[in-house]
Amino acid sequence: MRRHLLLAALCLATLAHGSDHLDTPTVIADPAADIGDLYAWTSPGHLNLAMTVVGAKFSDQLRYTFHIDSGRRLGATTHTLDVVCKFDTANAIDCRAANDRASGDASAESGLVSRGQHLRVFAGLRDDPFFNNVRGTRAALNVAGAALPTVSRDAAGCPQFDAPTAARIADEWRHTEGHDGTNFLAGWKTAALVVSIDLPFVTRGGAMLGVWATTSRRDGAVIDRMGRALTGNALIETFGTEDAANRRKEQYNRAVPAGWPAFAPDLAVNLAIYDGFDGHCGNQWMVVQNAAAASRYAALAKLLADDRLWIKTSAPRCSQYLAAEFDWLGATNDDCGGRTPAYDAVDTFRALLANGTLTGLEDGVDRDDRATSDAVFPFLAAP
């Protein structure tokens, strides 16, 4: 999908299904291993998980795993529960979590209940819930990419785009070829693995959960991983060469949690670029205003390098992307955070990176063409 500098900028939106796309040669070679998106949120008594797969099919040669880390506070977990699912050649599923197991046909909308009744599992085709103005994003990031070699950068690496360039970036982002923003992914189908699991089963380390997903070969070799929407694709070699991007993203996908902090410097370089998109440097979310230039983006880069979706299970509602992170930083709220299929995660993430607010850099698409649910299993709409 991404073959040169400006197409690399498509990472934020992606030309494939979902916010994590066919981004490395290994993933391109096996689209059944490509995680399109990861969703995780709570409903009364349950943690709900959904993984979409770009190839619109599951493979009997792969493992699909939800990793659920629990602890008392964000970033500090003490217990892990893995939900590991495999498929046979007839597409029957076998999902295991600790001492519980669900096996058989999970394609009915009612799902398949595990033997210990802690899990309900669905696996089959659904409408892809991810929504994004891909063509508008392509145009906006092409503007930024073309201007980068001609603009100066401040000491922290933030490009100082002039007002007309910043206005053009914003205008292109909210339009599709000069018209209202259009969801490029409307009507896409995806293979979806959906799990609803009892909360007491996953909160043994504490009420704060960090969720991430991987696809791996039967020998354990990881092919793809994902936590928050967009982090790996938007902030690793965003404007780098094809070879550099492929090499670093392969390393990113395969990294174990202990190795994640090593990617913070990569993220910081690209955070600096996004900070300039609104024509102002230093107003990105979590920027330390009085810090030395070299550490301006270090705090956010460190947070994002720990690439897990964080869910505060004690909260009564789930309505805001990154709410658990906001709470951890002192903006106390009663929201679980995580990511439901209805969150406009792209607009939230982009605005926080460009101007430090939840809104202000929209792509003109604020919902999917098909209604999803955060309460009724299997949550995603039929294709």
Task: Inform me whether the pLDDT recorded for 337 exceeds 90.
Answer: yes
Q: What is the pLDDT of residue 185?
A: 87
Q: How far apart are the first and last CA of the chain?
A: 24
Task: Inform me whether the pLDDT recorded for 16 exceeds 90.
Answer: no
Do residues 251 and 232 touch, judged by C-beta distance below 8 A? no
pLDDT in tens, 155-165: 999 999 999 99
Task: Inform me whether the pLDDT recorded for 20 exceeds 80.
Answer: no
Domain ranges of the chain: 14-129+188-228, 134-185+254-355
Q: How far apart are CA 346 and CA 196, in angstroms?
A: 25
Mean pLDDT to the nearest integer, 356-377: 95
Cα within 13 Å of Cα(46), Cβ side? 17
Mean pLDDT to the nearest integer, 106-119: 97
Distances (CA, A) of 159 to 30, 52, 153, 350, 362: 37, 35, 4, 16, 21
Where residue 21 falls among pLDDT bands split at 50, 70, 90? very low
Which token pair is 137? 């994003």
Q: What is the pLDDT of residue 15?
A: 38
Q: What is the pLDDT of residue 242?
A: 84
Where residue 3 falls among pLDDT bands split at 50, 70, 90? very low
- Least confident range from 4-18, 253-267, 346-360: namely 4-18
Q: How far apart are CA 135 and CA 234, in angstroms?
A: 16
Task: Inform me whether the pLDDT recorded for 292 exceeds 90.
Answer: no
Q: How far apart are CA 191 and CA 194, in angstroms?
A: 10
Where residue 358 falls among pLDDT bands split at 50, 70, 90? very high
pLDDT in tens, 174-226: 999 999 999 998 999 999 999 999 999 999 999 999 999 999 999 999 999 99
Where residue 24 falls among pLDDT bands split at 50, 70, 90? confident
Q: What is the pLDDT of residue 18?
A: 52
Which token pair is 243? 């070879």
Task: Inform me whether the pLDDT recorded for 355 exceeds 60.
Answer: yes
Task: Inform me whether the pLDDT recorded for 4 exceeds 70.
Answer: no
More confident residue, 14 or 179: 179
- The count of other CB atoms within 10 Å of the CB of residue 304 is 26
Q: 14-129+188-228 sits in which CATH class?
A: mainly beta
Q: What is the pLDDT of residue 19?
A: 54
